[in-house]
Structure 1
Amino acid sequence: MGASTLSAGTAAWILFGMFFAQLALRVPVAVALGIACLPILLIEDRLWPMILVQETFNAYNSFILLAVPFFLLTANLMNVGGITDRLVRFSRALVGHFPGGLAQINVVLSIFFAGISGSSTADAASQSKLFIDAQRKEGYDDSFSVAITAVSAVLAVIIPPSILMIVWGGVLTVSIGALFLAGIIPGVMIGLVQMATVHAYAKIRGYPTYPRATLAEIFSGFMVSIPALITPFIIIGGKIFGWFTATESACIAVLYAGFLSIIVYREMDFKGLWLAFSDTGRLSAITLFCVGTASAFGWLLAYYKIPEALLVGVSAWEMGPITTGLFIAGVFLVVGCFLDAIPAIIIVGTILQPIAALAGLHPVHFAMIGIVSLAFGLVTPPYGLCLMIACSIAKIRMIDALKDTMIMLIPMFAVLVLLIMWPGMALLLPSLVEPDFLK
């Protein structure tokens, strides 16, 4: 077999140069990844353009990826079927009396929603429609309302079931059950620091609170929410205890959300069902197209052994576990600003995995550092998809919400550093519930 026409360095410059040039021209990420592959496929004698199509479709030949559209459909069924409204009522009874009551409800609802949907974009869209205008009427600043709605939406990729965890587990061969358990403590801690941030804002700016709910109101809110609150236990518990796979759990979540919306709460008609399916189809197409073109991009990186070349350089630094964790977080934080989380996992995750293993990081710990770091990219420009959605619904410029967003990310970053320094935050629950997940 003859040598490649291009060297690894030249191929890397063409791939990444083409990709970032297109991002500067505001070409959609999924399209930019695919187009960046074409010059290499045309120049290299042993390759041809149809490989782009072949590798893109090879990525879709994955049973695990079926979970992505099903979890998106679950989230949409929740929104149109009255499930979200019940969770809002219960959240208000729990935390409405805290300073900044409506914003506190926003965060708590994101925690509940995250345990069911797994999609931050679906959370950002639904929460923005629910809360931004309502907070505006109660005297909250637009920048604060947009920032807390967008920032709390990222919990959906950290608290299980998470679409990113499913993709990470499938691409990097990590136990999805272990990832589900590993995300609980970091996710809840980030939710708590967000509530503390709201508390501080409310005290400084004088945001309103609601009267404290009575025990009867809390009990009533809990009772009507029980069917919805059971959903994460069905999804996560079923996966952890081996009752069904991640994909099967997503299917069961759809059936259960449909049952609640149509039979129990009786709030979803045919129009609502059609809306849920059409939104799911659109979001799934965007998400899975990213997976396909990112896989083709990653295939070319592997073909030219670019990850190995990068690994040699980084390995020479001889970093310890904490330094390596901070380095990995830094890479994902930067990449997340420009790239969607799913292609970032496929491309960057595979490059960093050997570096993490060399430093002695457990695969589950490495995964959680990567997922939490990528969550920041959902609200940081120029990509910042959740922030973009919230700003679009609020009809304000992204730059106007940027200051408050950056302030809210500071305590979240402290949790990320704690996660890097204390692996037990990610590994404690998997080791207690099912130690075999960590083998």
Structure 2
Amino acid sequence: MGPGEVAAILLGTFAVLLMLRVPVAFALGIASLPPLLFDPQVDLYVLIDQMYSSYNSFLLLAVPFFLLAANVMNAGGITDRMLRLSRSLVGHFPGALAQMNVVLSVLFAGVSGSATADAASQSKIFIPAMVKEGYDKSFSVANTAVSSVLSVIIPPSILMVIWAGTLSISVGSLYIGGILPGLMLCLAMMATVHIYATKRHYPRFARASLAELAGAALVAIPALFMPFIIAGGKIFGWFTATESAAIAGSYAIVLAVVVFRELNLKSLFATFVDTGRFAAVSLFCLGTASVFGWLLAYYKVPNALLAHAVEWNMGITATGFFVAGVFLVVGCFLDAIPAIVIVGAILQPLTQHAGMDPLHYALIGIVSLAFGLVTPPYGLCLLIATAASGEPLKAVIKDTMIQLLPMLLVLVTVIMLPQIYLFLPNLAGPILGP
């Protein structure tokens, strides 16, 4: 079979299965079966071999450990202490609860690396509280969903680990590279909340005294130390990304069980079960996406798809906008992990032809895919927030799209001003490992 036939079979079957609401992981695996069954050049052994190869990665062990750290944080009172600190920092701003929502996402991002874990925990905390304080329900849901995407951009990030393992780039460089885009997105979200709060007269809390701020910081210090373990350990070469994730998970357990004493053994076991379930879903999706991606590469489908794009001879900026556009569209229909494995690999030759820095490509891809977590119809974080609130999806679309506009401006700066966002990784280059 030629590239055109394979592309039609793989992509067509996958699209039909998605329309039939087959889960993405299963849809990718089932769509891969026709070439394996009917082309004598390949056989079903490829399915097993490629799935095993995708799992046989020391780096990917970081995924369940990051999820464990996030789950223990939520169950063990660590998130509550970060919430107290965020109130002390921004509780006096207009739209206090919404501002706290954004700041807590930044603090949570430094530990969990999972946007869905952030959305699940903060939907339970903030949406009922914001509605009770007079915030519009649609705004509350949108604010919670949009702020949760900071967890995939601010290091450590599970998507960064997947990107590094799939496209062979330094995890340390990605961690440092994600700091500035993450902080810029945080400021954009806070500015958006300020405008909303001013126009709709959302309430604020009394300004915290220095003593209250110091007390909140003191209580949160053990939890805030975790990001330095995860990101700092990798950046300064003390241990690998996987080892840092394992240490962070262990540290979270010690805090929750021994220091704060808010997690007993029964609850800890339940947390392990939840972590195993979420990790299995993520990694199974990675496995079937790897088979799908291997078939595309084997039949040279990317070469055929990008043949005309390469002939356009786009520069770095034009290529950046093209890459962002593809990821923004794909992210609406596909989970970020298979999108990285499949689309990331397809677009990589195009970026190389344009002379784009691999780290610049990674930042554009990851920031673009963050939008997909809150854009319908897939928008997993938005679905989690709407499910927690009981609000129908169509009722929150307008506020969600409005809050995404400042994020889009940040993405444009990432594309057009790579020298700014690559400054820190280039500065730290000599101390970063592979």
> What is the TM-score when the length of structure 1 is the normalising length?
0.97
Where does residue 25 of structure 1 map in the other structure? 20
Residues 236 and 432, structure 2, Cα contact 8 Å, conserved in 1? no
* Aligned amino acid, residue 168 of structure 1: W
Residues 100 and 207, structure 1, Cα contact 8 Å, conserved in 2? yes
Where does residue 89 of structure 1 map in the other structure? 84
* Aligned amino acid, residue 291 of structure 1: L
Where does residue 260 of structure 1 map in the other structure? 255
* Aligned amino acid, residue 348 of structure 2: Q
Where does residue 67 of structure 2 map in the other structure? 72
Q: How does 1:250-329 map to 2 (within 5 A)?
A: 250-329=245-324
What is the CA distance between 1:178 and its match in structure 2? Answer: 0.2
* Aligned amino acid, residue 421 of structure 1: M
Where does residue 326 of structure 2 map in the other structure? 331
The separation in 2 between residues aligned to 1:426 and 1:356, in whole angstroms, is 17
Where does residue 171 of structure 1 map in the other structure? 166
Where does residue 3 of structure 2 map in the other structure? 8
Superposed CA deviations along residues 230-280 of structure 1, whole A, max 9, x for unmatched, are: 111111111011111110000000111111111111111123212211111
Where does residue 403 of structure 1 map in the other structure? 398
The separation in 2 between residues aligned to 1:42 and 1:249, in whole angstroms, is 42
Out of 184, 200, 209, which is 2:204 matched to? 209
Matched, 1:420 2:410: no
Where does residue 432 of structure 1 map in the other structure? 427
Residues 119 and 145, structure 2, Cα contact 8 Å, conserved in 1? yes
Superposed CA deviations along residues 143-190 of structure 1, whole A, max 9, x for unmatched, are: 101101000000000000000000101110000000000000000110
| RMSD of aligned Cα (Å) | 1.2
* Aligned amino acid, residue 16 of structure 2: A
The separation in 1 between residues aligned to 2:160 and 2:118, in whole angstroms, is 17
Residues 167 and 345, structure 2, Cα contact 8 Å, conserved in 1? yes
The separation in 2 between residues aligned to 1:322 and 1:80, in whole angstroms, is 44
Task: Give unmatched runs, 5+ long, in structure 1.
Answer: 1-5
Superposed CA deviations along residues 378-400 of structure 1, whole A, max 9, x for unmatched, are: 00011000000000010111111
What is the CA distance between 1:433 and its match in structure 2? Answer: 2.5
What is the CA distance between 1:96 and its match in structure 2? Answer: 0.4
Q: Identity over aligned residues, as a percent? A: 62
SS at match of 2:422: helix
Residues 364 and 438, structure 1, Cα contact 8 Å, conserved in 2? no
SS at match of 1:19: helix
* Aligned amino acid, residue 411 of structure 2: L
* Aligned amino acid, residue 212 of structure 1: R
Where does residue 373 of structure 1 map in the other structure? 368
The separation in 2 between residues aligned to 1:202 and 1:348, in whole angstroms, is 39
Residues 62 and 246, structure 2, Cα contact 8 Å, conserved in 1? yes
How many residues align structurally?
434
* Aligned amino acid, residue 278 of structure 2: L
Return structure 1 stretches of 4+ with deviation > 6 angstroms.
none
What is the CA distance between 1:437 and its match in structure 2? Answer: 4.5
The separation in 2 between residues aligned to 1:66 and 1:425, in whole angstroms, is 32
Q: How does 1:96-115 map to 2 (within 5 A)?
A: 96-115=91-110
Task: Give unmatched runs, 5+ long, in structure 2.
Answer: none
The separation in 2 between residues aligned to 1:76 and 1:361, in whole angstroms, is 37
What is the CA distance between 1:435 and its match in structure 2? Answer: 4.0
* Aligned amino acid, residue 299 of structure 1: W
Where does residue 238 of structure 1 map in the other structure? 233
SS at match of 1:197: helix
* Aligned amino acid, residue 116 of structure 2: T
The separation in 2 between residues aligned to 1:432 and 1:173, in whole angstroms, is 20
The separation in 2 between residues aligned to 1:184 and 1:367, in whole angstroms, is 13
The separation in 2 between residues aligned to 1:170 and 1:358, in whole angstroms, is 22
Where does residue 219 of structure 2 map in the other structure? 224
Distance 1:279-1:425 versus aligned 2 partners, 3 A rule? farther
Where does residue 3 of structure 1 map in the other structure? none
Out of 180, 188, 196, which is 1:185 matched to? 180
The separation in 2 between residues aligned to 1:168 and 1:241, in whole angstroms, is 20
Superposed CA deviations along residues 196-218 of structure 1, whole A, max 9, x for unmatched, are: 11111111111111011111111
SS at match of 1:211: coil
Where does residue 49 of structure 2 map in the other structure? 54
What is the CA distance between 1:137 and its match in structure 2? Answer: 0.7
What is the CA distance between 1:49 and its match in structure 2? Answer: 2.6
Superposed CA deviations along residues 42-98 of structure 1, whole A, max 9, x for unmatched, are: 121122233223222221111111000000000001011110000000000000010
Matched, 1:40 2:35: yes
Residues 431 and 438, structure 1, Cα contact 8 Å, conserved in 2? no
The separation in 2 between residues aligned to 1:14 and 1:179, in whole angstroms, is 35
> What is the TM-score when the length of structure 2 is the normalising length?
0.98
* Aligned amino acid, residue 12 of structure 1: A
Out of 378, 382, 400, which is 1:383 matched to? 378
Where does residue 354 of structure 1 map in the other structure? 349
The separation in 2 between residues aligned to 1:54 and 1:350, in whole angstroms, is 19
The separation in 1 between residues aligned to 2:196 and 2:430, in whole angstroms, is 41
The separation in 2 between residues aligned to 1:141 and 1:278, in whole angstroms, is 35
SS at match of 1:46: coil
Residues 364 and 426, structure 1, Cα contact 8 Å, conserved in 2? no
What is the CA distance between 1:310 and its match in structure 2? Answer: 2.1
What is the CA distance between 1:424 and its match in structure 2? Answer: 2.5
The separation in 1 between residues aligned to 2:358 and 2:262, in whole angstroms, is 43
* Aligned amino acid, residue 380 of structure 1: T
* Aligned amino acid, residue 204 of structure 1: K
Residues 103 and 186, structure 2, Cα contact 8 Å, conserved in 1? yes
The separation in 2 between residues aligned to 1:436 and 1:222, in whole angstroms, is 30
The separation in 1 between residues aligned to 2:433 and 2:253, in whole angstroms, is 34
